[in-house]
Amino acid sequence: MDALGINLPGLITQLVSFIILFVLLWMVLYKPITKMLDQRSAKIKESLDMAENMKEESAKSKEDMQKQIDAARTEGQQMIEQARVMAERFREEEMAKARTDIQTERERAESTIKRERDAAIEDLRREFADLAVTAAERVVEKSLDKTAHKNLIDKVLEESTKGRG
């Protein structure tokens, strides 16, 4: 033992020195580093969780947005469809109106034409009666009561129109 240099005072000194180092390093080095590493890993975990949450949230909001877009699209399509239907109806209404207008216009025109024609016929008939009376006066050379005469002619014309028509 002596030749190796092992002696009690030396051994005790080294033991005490090493234990002091152990305790002091524990206080100065291990405690703060352990604390810091734990703190950091907790923080990392927290931020990872947060990132996960945010990812989920963003996925959700993206989905929401898609849904909204889809809804807007269908709404828009509906509106277009509605407008198309309305336009169609409007066109048809307009066309029907135009058609009836044309119809009434034509009827009016027809009635006017008929009336004009009747009036013309009436005029013609009157002219013709006067002419016939004048002609008959000349033929008969006898002055007849103009009114009785006219009645007579009317009667003849009436009969002829009836017979013709």
Partner 1 sequence: MAMALVAFLVLFVVGLAGGALGDKFGAGFLSSPLPHLQLAAEKVTANEQFPGFTITNTMIATWASIVLLLIISFFATRKITEVPRGLQNFFEAVFEYFINLAESVAGRERARVFLPLVMTIFLFIVMSNWMGILPGYATIGRIESPEEFIHHAEERVEKQVKEAEEKGETVDEHALLVSELGNTKFSTFNGEGSVGITPFGSVSDQISAVDYLEAEEHGEHIVPEGQQAGILVPFLRSANTDVNTTLAIALVAMVLVHFWGFRRLGFFTHLGKFINFKQGPIWFFVGILEGISEIAKVISFTFRLFGNIFAGEVLLVAMAFLIPLIGIVPFLGLELFVGLIQAFIFSMLTLVFASAATVSHGAEGH
Nearer Cβ to partner 1 (39/68): 39
Q: How far is the CB of 78 from partner 1 (least distance, A)?
A: 57
Q: How far is the CB of 4 from partner 1 (least distance, A)?
A: 5
**Scanning residues 18 to 77, which ones bind partner 1 (CB under 8 A)?**
18-22, 24-26, 28-30, 32-34, 36-37, 39-40, 43
Alpha helices (H) in 26-141, listed in sequence order: 31-140
150, HSE (Cβ side, Cα atoms, 13 Å): 7
Which tokens hold the place of 97? 């109106």
- Binding of residue 15 to partner 1 (CB under 8 A): yes
Nearest residue to 157 via CA among 119, 138, 130, 137: 130
- Contact stretch for partner 1 (CB under 8 A) within 14-22, 51-59, 65-73, 103-111: 14-22
Q: How far is the CB of 9 from partner 1 (least distance, A)?
A: 4
- Binding of residue 165 to partner 1 (CB under 8 A): no
**b vs e for 129-163, b when ≥16 Cβ sit within 10 Å of the residue's Cβ?**
beebbeeeeeeeeeeeeeeebbebbeeeeeeeeee
Q: Give the span between the Cα atoms of 57 and 60, in whole angstroms.
A: 5
Which residues sit at the interface with partner 1, rule CB under 8 A? Answer: 2-7, 9-11, 13-15, 17-22, 24-26, 28-30, 32-34, 36-37, 39-40, 43
